[in-house]
Amino acid sequence: MTNIAIVGATGLVGKTMLEIIEGKDIPYSSLTLFSSARSAGKEIAVKGETLIVEELTEEKAKQSFDYVLMSAGGGTSLHFAPLFEKSGAVVIDNSSAWRMDDTIDLVVPEVNTPSLKRRIIANPNCSTIQSVVPLKALADSFGVKRVAYTTYQSVSGSGWQGIDDLTRGEKGEAPKNYPQPIHHNVIPHIDDFLDNGYTKEEAKMINETQKILNDDAIDVTATCVRVPVLHAHAVAINVTLEKEPSVADIKNVLGDFPSIVVMDDPTQNIYPTPLDAAGLESVFVGRIRKDNSLPNTYHIWSVSDNIQKGAALNAIQILEDLLSRKED
Amino acid sequence: MTNIAIVGATGLVGKTMLEIIEGKDIPYSSLTLFSSARSAGKEIAVKGETLIVEELTEEKAKQSFDYVLMSAGGGTSLHFAPLFEKSGAVVIDNSSAWRMDDTIDLVVPEVNTPSLKRRIIANPNCSTIQSVVPLKALADSFGVKRVAYTTYQSVSGSGWQGIDDLTRGEKGEAPKNYPQPIHHNVIPHIDDFLDNGYTKEEAKMINETQKILNDDAIDVTATCVRVPVLHAHAVAINVTLEKEPSVADIKNVLGDFPSIVVMDDPTQNIYPTPLDAAGLESVFVGRIRKDNSLPNTYHIWSVSDNIQKGAALNAIQILEDLLSRKED
């Protein structure tokens, strides 16, 4: 008997969670869909059954769910996740609200395992997930000292609003979501600015990388940029290792790691692009080469669907992991 | 009496050179336009006069021009630039053919001065120009030790063909110029691949930066990426200095340097994007901040129109500099 609830079921990540639950045939005895008041009443078909989306209220959060997948923004998470937790559920939360809380696990199943000190598990930032998967492979074999990220982030990272803004731009209309037009443009500004000149998105990549790899000694920096792509983020990762493996060694280690697909043969023009990764589950890596401007340093180009592995899929994989432990 | 010829007059850079010559009212006694056989016969109006584009032949290259602006690809340059030189002209060449030749000057007028050992002057790579302008400002005041570039390069960098490919993609058609679709995509592949896994474009940025800044001790690396933007490139520059100035010091030094416009106030969402820079002459910089992952290291986001300062305008500025010396 597994009672599952999804909060934010009509959002882009929520909708994708439902598709993955159907596609993987995740077993449940009941599935309850929550949304804001605005989307409540909508009908969504899952596994042949038509479900009616309900407005989330404090009363409803007291129902006894086993697992609650939340993707409804930080404010909703801060308010409702503890209520679900108190009612006995394990919450897997896609917002940034809980990620850096010391008592909360921040989990990428290929990389780390939740301690379950609390029954709230945080799903990391999309660009961070597709970066820490290859970095964990490198950390295990060669040690990681420093990481510099430069990102190319698709508009689906902003949900339906981001996609709408790109579509609006293509029709010659002004943006409603982004501070600048995104059509035929790139915007070096994702989430709000902090006093130190970094954006919150950049701070997330820095802090979450250290937390997930469980190593505060890794120096991390980031520049995050929105690009006019619909699906899949690309991250140019510049990584300094403790050791100095050959590029072939690095390709072998990455190729042997779960979820990673190495697409790297310049002689055949093979490297991943966002269009290659859109809708797929893996983290695709290519353009792997030595950076001769610093010792023990390498370039890796990582591409993955930000709504799949970067959000909904990673959350479902955390759920699958919990379900399999329950069976053991 | 100044006789000027433009080779590649119907190309995107050639057309822009003509617009700049008109706009700045560069004086000449004759202006001759050359192209390939395919475009010969076309009529172009300049300063109210209708000029007929001629096919460039060896015979015509023996005419006595004072200045020849070439933007017609490496093969044409290698063949014809020495012929023009022999006939007494100074050639300003936009191709990559001559740039790394030890006897040839590679010039950005704000940064370095041609020695004129040879009467062929090379115009640098577009992404390199908008990077070395701020780097020269920093080198003069604080010393530059290492530079890591990550680029967001517009399709106009590939001339009309690049713009056509983006337009084709927007109509649902397959690309003809790029190895992958560029519409709703980013492609980490500009120019051909080298054996070391870098592209020629990345190698250009590395080698030309050292040559223009006249310092082989500067360590440089690059990742070059095409993005679905029409005009203006962005370069995320990560720079390590000899000294450790404050961010305010860096902004002051950049703001005082010719051609640089500092657009950097995160509290007001002010930073440059390609749409801001398109059609303009300056190098716009923003997102200036300390990179705490390495000592004395900073992030700078540089945006400039790749056809203006990145190509046609820089060539015309080299010409203007030569014309003013002639007057002295």
User: Residues of B with CB below 8 A from A228's CB?
Assistant: 184, 227-229
Q: Could you write out the DSSP letters of every residue in A42-89?
A: -EEEETTEEEE-EE--TTGGGS--SEEEE-S-HHHHHHHHHHHHHTTP
User: Residues of A with CB below 8 A from B289's CB?
Assistant: 196-198
Shortest Cα distance, chain A CAs vs residue B137, angstroms: 21
Cα distances (angstroms) measured from residue A299 to each of A250, A293, B76, B266: 11, 11, 35, 29
The pLDDT value given to residue B328: 59
Shortest Cα distance, chain A CAs vs residue B55, angstroms: 35
The pLDDT tens digits of the residues spanning B168-215 come to 999 999 999 999 999 999 999 999 999 999 999 999 999 999 999 999
Beta-carbon separation of B227 and A223 below 8 A: no
CA distance A272 to A286: 6
Q: Is B170 on the interface with A (CB under 8 A)?
A: yes
Interface test with B, best of A192, A273, A296, A300 (most B CBs within 10 A): A273
Beta-carbon separation of B228 and A227 below 8 A: yes
> Do both A317 and A282 map to the same domain?
no
> Do both A177 and A264 map to the same domain?
yes
First to last CA, chain A: 15
| Three-state secondary-structure class, residue A150 | strand
Confidence of residue B69 (pLDDT cuts 50, 70, 90): very high
Number of structural domains chain B divides into? 2
Contacts with A, B 130-169, CB within 8 Å: 146-148, 150, 152
Q: Is B177 on the interface with A (CB under 8 A)?
A: no
Yes or no: say if A127 and A151 are a contact pair by the CB < 8 Å rule.
yes
User: Residues of A with CB below 8 A from B234's CB?
Assistant: 186, 188, 225
> Do both A91 and A181 map to the same domain?
no
> Do both A70 and A177 map to the same domain?
no
Give the one of A188, A223, A287 whose C-beta lies nearest to B188's C-beta: A287
Yes or no: say if B223 and B202 are a contact pair by the CB < 8 Å rule.
yes
The answer to whether B10 is a known ligand-binding residue is: yes
> Do both B221 and B234 map to the same domain?
yes
Beta-carbon separation of A291 and B221 below 8 A: yes
What mean pLDDT is predicted for residues B21-26?
Answer: 97
Active-site positions of B?
126, 233
Beta-carbon separation of A273 and B229 below 8 A: no
Give the one of B170, B236, B289 whose C-beta lies nearest to A150's C-beta: B236
A-chain residue closest to B218, CA distance? A293
Phi-psi region of B144 (alpha: psi -120 to 50; beta: other; left: phi over 0): beta
> Do both B280 and B323 map to the same domain?
no
Yes or no: say if A203 and B266 are a contact pair by the CB < 8 Å rule.
no
> Do both A135 and A240 map to the same domain?
yes
The answer to whether B157 is a known ligand-binding residue is: yes
> Do both B73 and B215 map to the same domain?
no
CA distance A89 to A82: 9
Domain of B131, CATH number, reads 3.30.360.10
The answer to whether A306 is a known ligand-binding residue is: yes
Shortest Cα distance, chain B CAs vs residue A7, angstroms: 30
| Three-state secondary-structure class, residue B299 | strand
Torsion from C-alpha of B60, B64, B69, B72, nearest 10 degrees: 20
The answer to whether B168 is a known ligand-binding residue is: no
Give the one of A180, A266, A274 whose C-beta lies nearest to B185's C-beta: A274
| H/E element, B204 | helix B200-212
Closest CA to A41 of A53, A49, A27: A53
CA distance B132 to B15: 25
Q: Which residues are within 8 A (CB) of B192 and not within 5 positions of it... i.e. 6 or more apart?
A: B199, B200
Yes or no: say if B247 and B268 are a contact pair by the CB < 8 Å rule.
no
Q: Could you write out the DSSP letters of every residue in B37-93?
A: TTTTT-EEEETTEEEE-EE--TTGGGS--SEEEE-S-HHHHHHHHHHHHHTTPEEEE
The answer to whether B153 is a known ligand-binding residue is: yes
Q: Which residues are within 8 A (CB) of A86 and not within 5 positions of it... i.e. 6 or more apart?
A: none
Q: Is A284 on the interface with B (CB under 8 A)?
A: no
Contacts with B, A 208-227, CB within 8 Å: 219-221, 223, 225, 227
CA distance A159 to A173: 19
What mean pLDDT is predicted for residues B30-49?
Answer: 96
Domain of A13, CATH number, reads 3.40.50.720
Closest CA to B5 of B321, B315, B326: B315
**One digit per residue, pLDDT tens: chain A, 328 residues?**
799 999 999 999 999 999 999 999 999 999 999 999 999 999 999 999 999 999 999 999 999 999 999 999 999 999 999 999 999 999 999 999 999 999 999 999 999 999 999 999 999 999 999 999 999 999 999 999 999 999 999 999 999 999 999 999 999 999 999 999 999 999 999 999 999 999 999 999 999 999 999 999 999 999 999 999 999 999 999 999 999 999 999 999 999 999 999 999 999 999 999 999 999 999 999 999 999 999 999 999 999 999 999 999 999 999 999 999 876 5
Yes or no: say if A117 and A103 are a contact pair by the CB < 8 Å rule.
yes
The pLDDT tens digits of the residues spanning B273-285 come to 999 999 999 999 9
Yes or no: say if A111 and A136 are a contact pair by the CB < 8 Å rule.
yes
Beta-carbon separation of B187 and A301 below 8 A: no
The pLDDT value given to residue A327: 66
ipTM associated with this complex: 0.97
Q: Which residues are within 8 A (CB) of B230 and not within 5 positions of it... i.e. 6 or more apart?
A: A184, B154, B155, B156, B163, B166, B278
CA distance B170 to B199: 27
Contacts with B, A 41-80, CB within 8 Å: none
- Residue B257 is part of which domain span? 127-306
Yes or no: say if B149 and B127 are a contact pair by the CB < 8 Å rule.
yes
Q: What is the b/e burial string over B33-68, where b = at least 16 CB atoms within 10 angstroms of the residue's CB?
A: bbbbeebbeeebebeeeebebbebeeebbeeebbbb
Shortest Cα distance, chain A CAs vs residue B97, angstroms: 23
* Catalytic residue check, A184: no
Antiparallel, parallel or unpaired: β A283-290 and A297-304: antiparallel
> Do both A35 and A132 map to the same domain?
no
A:B CB pairs within 8 Å: 145
The pLDDT value given to residue A328: 59
> Do both B60 and B132 map to the same domain?
no
> Do both A135 and A89 map to the same domain?
no
Phi-psi region of B116 (alpha: psi -120 to 50; beta: other; left: phi over 0): left
Which tokens sit at B145?
Answer: 């030790």
User: Residues of A with CB below 8 A from B170's CB?
Assistant: 170
User: Residues of A with CB below 8 A from B301's CB?
Assistant: 188, 223
Residue B291 one-letter amino acid: D
Cα distances (angstroms) measured from residue B177 to each of A268, B13, B191: 16, 17, 11
Beta-carbon separation of A220 and B293 below 8 A: yes
Q: Is A286 on the interface with B (CB under 8 A)?
A: yes
Q: Please name the residue that has the structure tokens 């390709």.
A: A251
DSSP class of residue B157? G
The answer to whether B287 is a known ligand-binding residue is: no
| H/E element, A141 | helix A126-142
User: Residues of B with CB below 8 A from A292's CB?
Assistant: 219, 221
Beta-carbon separation of A186 and B146 below 8 A: no
> Do both B220 and B171 map to the same domain?
yes
User: Residues of B with CB below 8 A from A288's CB?
Assistant: 197
Closest CA to A120 of A137, A95, A149: A95
